[in-house]
Amino acid sequence: MKLFGVAAPTTGSGKTSITLAILSRLRNATAFKIGPDYIDGGLSSAITGNMTWNIDRWIQGKAYSQVIPAASQKYDFGVVEGVMGLRDSGSPVDLSTYFYFRKFRIPYILVVDVSRMAESAYYLARGFLGPLSLGVILNKYGSERHLEMVSRPFREHGIRILGAVPGNKEFAIPERHLGLHTASEMTGLREKAAAMSIHIDMGFLDELPDRQFIIPSYHQPKSTGKSIWVAQDKAFNFYYADSLTSLEGMGTLNYFSPIAGEYPEDPDLVYFGGGYPELYPGELSRNDKLRRIIADFSESHGNIIAECGGLMYLEKDMETDQGVFPMAGIFQGRVRKNSRLTLGYTKLQAREDTLLFRKGEIAMGHEFHYSTIEDQGKKALHNIIGKGIDGDDGLVLRNTFGSYSHFSLSRYSRRLRKALDI
């Protein structure tokens, strides 16, 4: 697999747009996303038609080092999109893009937003260039004269310019207070990426070696015939690829859309991931059959995992600007949409056994939401790092587990397999 990365000096430079543009020119490619971001991964998956794999040693533990080798046998190209600026971490543990690039010896393209600079762009960029850098893409230039001013110092200092993309509003990916729009909410994404790609010289691919990785020695257990149902639509679409792959080793994955009125049939496990349920409260509330099925399944000790948006759906009701809407009602709290962002890594300790964790175990996750939950129910996790629900998390009722934190299920699959009697 030919492997390379896309990084930038600062967040907001256009890494995602450039990554999508490059992917639109590749065949049999996959993307990797450094960090816990789901949205960028969904966008790149929409371009490649393949899973995008998150790489995050906080959430995945030592298994992070197996993600690229495990995927390398299936694809001809792998594009690794960085997070924030190249050297940014914001954590006592080095979680920067550069850490992963150095760990896996990933050569990278530096995307430089030149919209507010001329010659200074070079002097900003040179601190982020080094032995692993392939060159730069100059993004959001204003005119040909502006581009010439920006380009000259790079040429004079022998820095390869792999592309120059004009600051065209048509190339922008729409945003809102929740972040970028998800792939399922956008039209014309492929066309937009292809239009950007004509400004990029793909010749650098010919110089990349075909990397060979040592395949992880662990054995993925064969499917056991369990029926696993995953909520997948505009309301629920935040999933880690390694979580879904782990579930595939436990049974047959089936997908259903709550907002389209669909529901699981004879499940052994139902998984509600994160997403934006607060944008679709009416559609979710109107699916009476699903709400009854989920409540009955929980009452009969069926296995349910719900993360963030999934937890919001399992509460009694949800209050938004449109009113108060009944949800599944397994838990008896109220969700309130707000404009304050809760974002960051979490570290939690289990107070009791759950579907995923043993009592006393430390769990590592991530939270991202614009909502609050008022719920006095029993919580199985205590936040050492992170907010959760007033410092605790992990609502538990019978075999139903819901948390504000997102987790890599592959890291905790042994406990889940036992709960499923596998």
Instruction: Flag whether 71 is in a domain.
Output: yes
Helix (H) or strand (E) holding 31: strand 29-34
Residue numbers of the domain that contains 397: 226-419
User: Is 65 in the same domain as 150?
Assistant: yes
User: Is 31 in the same domain as 109?
Assistant: yes
Instruction: Flag whether 390 is in a domain.
Output: yes
pLDDT on residue 243:
95
Helix (H) or strand (E) holding 310: helix 309-314
pLDDT on residue 84:
96
Instruction: Flag whether 84 is in a domain.
Output: yes
pLDDT on residue 117:
96
pLDDT on residue 179:
54
Biggest CA-to-CA distance, the chain: 71
User: Is 284 in the same domain as 367?
Assistant: yes
Query: How far is it, in rounded angstroms, from Cα 12 to Cα 55?
Result: 20
Per-residue model confidence as pLDDT tens digits over 298-348: 999 999 999 999 999 999 999 999 999 999 999 999 999 888 889 999 999
Per-residue model confidence as pLDDT tens digits over 19-61: 999 999 999 999 999 999 988 999 999 999 999 999 999 999 9
User: Is 195 in the same domain as 50?
Assistant: yes
pLDDT on residue 5:
98
Instruction: Flag whether 104 is in a domain.
Output: yes
Instruction: Flag whether 33 is in a domain.
Output: yes
Query: How far is it, in rounded angstroms, from Cα 407 to Cα 306?
Result: 10
Residue 144, token pair as written in the block: 């040909």
Grouping H, G, I as helix, E, B as strand and the rest as coil, residue 348 is: strand
Query: How far is it, in rounded angstroms, from Cα 99 to Cα 82?
Result: 10
Query: How far is it, in rounded angstroms, from Cα 12 to Cα 9?
Result: 9
Measured CA to CA in angstroms, residue 324 lies from 257, 313, 336 at distances of 22, 13, 9
Radius of gyration of the chain from its Cα atoms, rounded to whole angstroms:
22
User: Is 199 in the same domain as 231?
Assistant: no
The angle that helices 189-197 and 39-48 make with each other, rounded to 10 degrees, is: 80
Q: Which CATH number belongs to the domain containing residue 298 in this structure? A: 3.40.50.880
User: Is 236 in the same domain as 308?
Assistant: yes
| Final residue in a domain of this structure, among 207, 236, 266 | 207
Quick check: 376 and 420 in contact, CB under 8 A?
A: no
User: Is 139 in the same domain as 175?
Assistant: yes
| Final residue in a domain of this structure, among 152, 173, 207 | 207
User: Is 6 in the same domain as 124?
Assistant: yes
Query: How far is it, in rounded angstroms, from Cα 20 to Cα 18?
Result: 5
The one-letter amino acid at 291: R
Q: Which CATH number belongs to the domain containing residue 55 in this structure? A: 3.40.50.300
User: Is 65 in the same domain as 15?
Assistant: yes
User: Is 183 in the same domain as 244?
Assistant: no
| Final residue in a domain of this structure, among 178, 207, 236 | 207
User: Is 173 in the same domain as 292?
Assistant: no
User: Is 260 in the same domain as 360?
Assistant: yes
One DSSP character per residue, 99-126 reads: HHHHHHT--EEEEEE-TT-STHHHHHHG
| Residue 1: DSSP 8-state | -
Instruction: Flag whether 218 is in a domain.
Output: no
Instruction: Flag whether 214 is in a domain.
Output: no
Residue environment code for 323-358, b if the CB has 16+ CB neighbours within 10 A, otherwise e: eebebbbbbebbbbbeeeebeebbebebbebbbbbe
pLDDT on residue 218:
52
Alpha helices in 166-271 (DSSP H): 189-197, 241-248
| Residue 47: DSSP 8-state | H
Q: Over the chain (422 residues), what is each successive 10-residue block's mean pLDDT?
A: 97 95 97 94 94 96 92 94 96 95 97 97 97 98 98 98 91 59 73 95 96 71 85 96 93 97 97 96 97 97 98 97 96 93 96 96 96 95 96 97 97 92 88
Domain count, the chain: 2
Instruction: Flag whether 284 is in a domain.
Output: yes
Q: Which of 129, 259, 290, 308 is catalytic?
A: 308
212 a catalytic residue: no
pTM: 0.93
